[in-house]
Structure 1
């Protein structure tokens, strides 16, 4: 995939996920990308997949541009960003000027892979955890792989609303209301006793600079995502550890005490682990599952791309002892909708 193709491909994904502005921006960059510049030469030197499943160069530069707007470093660029609506020509002129004027900042920014912490994915985690808690009515030790800033480790502080049914804390200021099809999840309320997470590049959303980085990768014409991220950061009480997810997991699995359910979760993260790491992680979890008991059970909850991109992510829950696999349904990658298929 060429860089131009990556921009065009990303444009289609963005429009399909409800961001016409990002679609417009990606198409402008596909047409007018400054190849004869420091950024142009840097991107041209990248080998391998530059698209969404690889280096994700289009989202790197989009995040950098949004950061310039959020941190008020480019008032001229802010004038062509939402809520304003401008022509392709006006957007292109402002973007090219920003790419040139802030090249040093953007060169450094694009050294790092895109990093989001999509809070709306917690709707799927809330529902899946309720299924696990129904099977094993025990306090939960929660572990998240690829936890980013740790916001989705806080899902027990969020409320889920489905067709007038309120699930979760009544006083929560964070309300998730995806378009829901299918039956309601179980009514049992999971109780988290301990939470922990790991990420190669963890961010601390209580720090303004780290919160800004997370928000820069949220799409500018989707203000609800921005406000949810701010709200989730306000209740954060966990610090994500830095490290390789699978190495970290290998150390955590033997630590589970009796009388607790160890729930491992990850959302749109597993696909970015190297294949060898995926195989090792799966083997580690399955081996721990074989050692699980009714008083020391294990659950593995995932929301991941299974290749059916146009159908969202697959929601899967595995439970031990017994090695039970439950296909819970599917969810939009940003948590806008959930097709819940579990009836137990």
Structure 2
């Protein structure tokens, strides 16, 4: 067996693995598309040859999601009627055959989509992040928050306090007239919905931020939402419109350098400073992670009761099927696992209301 054949088999296995993940996460169309491409792709044209000979780690590079996003973008762009007809909401015909034909017919248009990783801004995750902020508010007696988000993408979740949430069982939070409705099932013992949450200041950074007001950036953001998940698409479109109406400019910056500067700035008395991120830590080089960890440790060491510091994150921790929602609070409170949550924000299973810092043993 040749090296090129071995490489192609590795790529096909990656597509199958991603297809299984898409099935678990509620996108049967994307699952079937990627599974079909795994079986039927051949290096018949330049684009398929490029995919099947991908030089990097296909999993780390999210290669299958690059391909899926490129095809969804083509379907949404209205420049290829055959692809548009084969993709949801119509989903007519053999999507795999249509995709393979498009690889040849639209190769020049599709190729740039393989050059960079998928970039998403999943508003469904705000249901877990909001709960983390409510837990913090409960612990600090409703102290106003200065929110610092790294890996903020288009900054959609900078407006998380302007969304309307339906947590199930008659539980809701946020403005009833918000254009963004997040349906996110809360299970277990969640944080108190009546905790006083005030975001007094907010800022964010990203290596490649997307401008919600830019049509090309919007197209890129929406392309990576799976096409058969109509509610996710509608929610993202509404969140983009809200971000245009209530802009939260995201700075183009390395997360470590940005945080080092932000955390060194004076913190007003009576304000809790919070660093927040979701599903981005794994994508940073180890050296950047180390710098951020050092900056967070230094900020925690400087914290006082009048100027507390918190680190809220939603990140994978090796447990299959969910991410950990973790809160670290200084000077008192320590680190606690608040919940486990679905990667796309369909549900959160809360561990229970956090005890006040002075009751911890």
Superposition TM-score tier, normalisation by shorter sequence: over 0.9
User: What's the counterpart of residue 149 of structure 1?
Assistant: 154
The equivalences for 1:120-199 within 5 A come to 120-136=124-140, 137-162=142-167, 163-186=169-192, 187-199=194-206
Tell me the alpha carbon deviations over residues 224-271 of structure 1, each in whole angstroms, 9 at most, x when there is no partner: 111111111122220111121111111111123333111111111111
* Native 8 Å contact 1:328 1:341 kept in 2: yes
The equivalences for 1:242-321 within 5 A come to 242-255=252-265, 256-310=267-321, 312-321=322-331
Shift in Å at residue 103 of structure 1? 0.7
Distance (whole Å) between structure 2 residues aligned to residue 182 and residue 269 of structure 1: 26
The equivalences for 1:1-344 within 5 A come to 2-51=10-59, 54-86=60-92, 90-136=94-140, 137-162=142-167, 163-186=169-192, 187-236=194-243, 237-255=247-265, 256-310=267-321, 312-322=322-332, 324-344=334-354
Gaps of 5+ in 2: 1-8, 355-361
* Native 8 Å contact 2:144 2:198 kept in 1: yes
SS in 2 for 1:129: helix
Distance (whole Å) between structure 1 residues aligned to residue 71 and residue 24 of structure 2: 21
Moved segments of 4+, more than 6 Å: none
SS in 2 for 1:2: helix
TM-score of the superposed pair, with normalisation by structure 2: 0.90
Distance (whole Å) between structure 1 residues aligned to residue 271 and residue 240 of structure 2: 27
* Native 8 Å contact 2:206 2:253 kept in 1: yes
Tell me the alpha carbon deviations over residues 31-54 of structure 1, each in whole angstroms, 9 at most, x when there is no partner: 122324222343355334211xx1
* Native 8 Å contact 1:168 1:189 kept in 2: no
Distance (whole Å) between structure 1 residues aligned to residue 82 and residue 350 of structure 2: 44
* Native 8 Å contact 1:130 1:185 kept in 2: yes
Shift in Å at residue 170 of structure 1? 3.0
Shift in Å at residue 91 of structure 1? 1.8
SS in 1 for 2:325: strand
Distance (whole Å) between structure 2 residues aligned to residue 101 and residue 198 of structure 1: 37
Distance (whole Å) between structure 2 residues aligned to residue 2 and residue 200 of structure 1: 30
* Native 8 Å contact 2:207 2:252 kept in 1: yes
Gaps of 5+ in 1: none
Shift in Å at residue 86 of structure 1? 4.6
